[in-house]
């Protein structure tokens, strides 16, 4: 792809033929994650192929690309409740090398969209981590994990069960438990998040939605934000 083509396409729709399915999107959407295969392809760093109609051609699963493209648009993964192709979608995410989507699909349970009802209980888990850009690209400078819920038993059980992870400090407030720790190894940081996801799931909560956001705060730091929403149905309280 020539630089002139890229400049022209900045303000024009980009049409892709993925396994026979045709999609239209913007160049900025395809470049949302620069380190991904699509980011490299549409920066001109990888060769491209066009079909007979001039669409960019990618020989991958066409219907599943719908979820890939929607994730690029919103940084959120939302799947229908009857979705049965999680493993295939994970392979597509691996092929396109979209690291936030790979992480979403690596969660202990499939990320399904469940209907809400009047008596739903919710747990919000957020993770903010700062990664070093120098020497060791997977070193975690510091991580803050925050669990927010109006279910007191959940807050109490997390506070008592995860004291061993109190590497830096732990803050307990109304409706919220917050862990701040670091520096640490990337595997340690991921391990804590996986343990928390599993702990909340075993309490009867199901992941309803997740999102990932990347941002750079300073020249030597790369900040990644994760957010999960869990829900379960609460018992109806009679008036």
Give phi and psi for 116, each to the nearest 5: -95, 165
The pLDDT of residue 141 is 67
Six-digit token pair at 129? 């981590």
CA distance 206 to 120: 11
CA distance 59 to 67: 16
Domain count, the chain: 2
Whether 31 is in a domain gets the answer yes
Whether 238 is in a domain gets the answer no
Whether 207 is in a domain gets the answer yes
Count CB-CB contacts under 10 A for residue 32.
18
CATH number at residue 51: 3.30.710.10
The pLDDT of residue 216 is 59
Q: What residues contact residue 232 under an 8 Å CB cut-off, 6+ apart?
A: 120, 121, 203, 204, 205, 206
Q: How far is CA 159 from CA 2, 87, 154, 170, 204, in A?
A: 55, 34, 9, 9, 18
CA distance 214 to 61: 27
The pLDDT of residue 215 is 66
Q: Half-sphere exposure of 182 toward its Cβ, with a 13 Å CA cutoff?
A: 21
Q: Mark whether 98 and 124 lie in a shared domain.
A: no
Instruction: Let me know: does 69 contact 23? Beta carbons within 8 Å.
Output: yes
What is the extent of the structural domain holding 144?
A: 120-233
Count CB-CB contacts under 10 A for residue 123.
23
Answer with the one of 80, 105, 130 that is the final residue of a domain.
105
The pLDDT of residue 132 is 64
- Encode pLDDT of 26-48 as tens digits: 999 998 888 788 988 888 877 88
Q: Mark whether 227 and 129 lie in a shared domain.
A: yes
Angle at CA 14, nearest 5°, toward 89 and 10? 120
Whether 9 is in a domain gets the answer yes
Instruction: Let me know: does 207 contact 230? Beta carbons within 8 Å.
Output: yes
Q: Mark whether 53 and 133 lie in a shared domain.
A: no
Question: What residues of the chain score a pLDDT lower than 70?
Answer: 1-11, 106-119, 132-141, 164-170, 184-190, 212, 214-221, 235-239
The pLDDT of residue 5 is 52
Q: Mark whether 160 and 78 lie in a shared domain.
A: no
Alpha-helical (H) ranges within the chain are 3-9, 27-30, 37-41, 65-74, 86-96, 99-105, 152-161, 186-202
Six-digit token pair at 226? 């994760």
**189 in helix, strand or coil?**
helix
The pLDDT of residue 129 is 76
Q: How far is CA 10 from CA 2, 5, 22, 55, in A?
A: 13, 9, 19, 16
- Encode pLDDT of 69-111 as tens digits: 999 998 888 787 778 888 889 888 888 888 888 878 865 443 3
Prediction pTM value: 0.50
Q: What is the DSSP string of 18-85?
A: ETTEEEEE-HHHHTSSTTSHHHHHTTTSS---B-TTS-EEE-S-TTTHHHHHHHHHHSEE---TT---
Q: Mark whether 143 and 210 lie in a shared domain.
A: yes
């Amino acid at each position: 792809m020539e630089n002139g083509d890229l400049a022209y396409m900045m303000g024009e729709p980009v049409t892709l033929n993925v396994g026979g399915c045709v999609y239209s999107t913007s160049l900025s959407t395809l470049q949302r994650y620069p380190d991904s295969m699509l980011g490299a392809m549409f920066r001109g760093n990888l060769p491209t192929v066009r079909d007979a109609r001039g669409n960019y051609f990618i020989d991958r699963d066409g219907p599943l690309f719908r979820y890939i493209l929607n994730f690029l648009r919103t940084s959120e993964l939302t799947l229908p409740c009857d979705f049965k192709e999680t493993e295939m979608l994970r392979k597509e995410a691996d092929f396109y090398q979209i690291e936030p989507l790979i992480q979403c699909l690596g969660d202990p349970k499939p990320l399904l969209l469940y209907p809400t009802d009047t008596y739903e209980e919710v747990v919000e888990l957020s993770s903010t981590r700062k990664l070093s850009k120098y020497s060791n690209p997977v070193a975690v400078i510091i991580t803050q994990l925050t669990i927010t819920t109006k279910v007191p038993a959940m807050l109490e059980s997390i506070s008592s069960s995860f004291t061993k992870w109190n590497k830096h400090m732990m803050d307990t407030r109304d409706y919220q438990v917050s862990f701040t720790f670091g520096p640490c190894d990337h595997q340690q940081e991921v391990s804590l998040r996986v343990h928390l996801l599993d702990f909340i799931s075993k309490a009867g909560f199901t992941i309803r939605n997740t999102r990932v956001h990347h941002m750079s705060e300073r020249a030597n730091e790369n900040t990644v934000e994760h957010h999960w929403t869990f829900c379960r149905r609460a018992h109806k309280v009679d008036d």
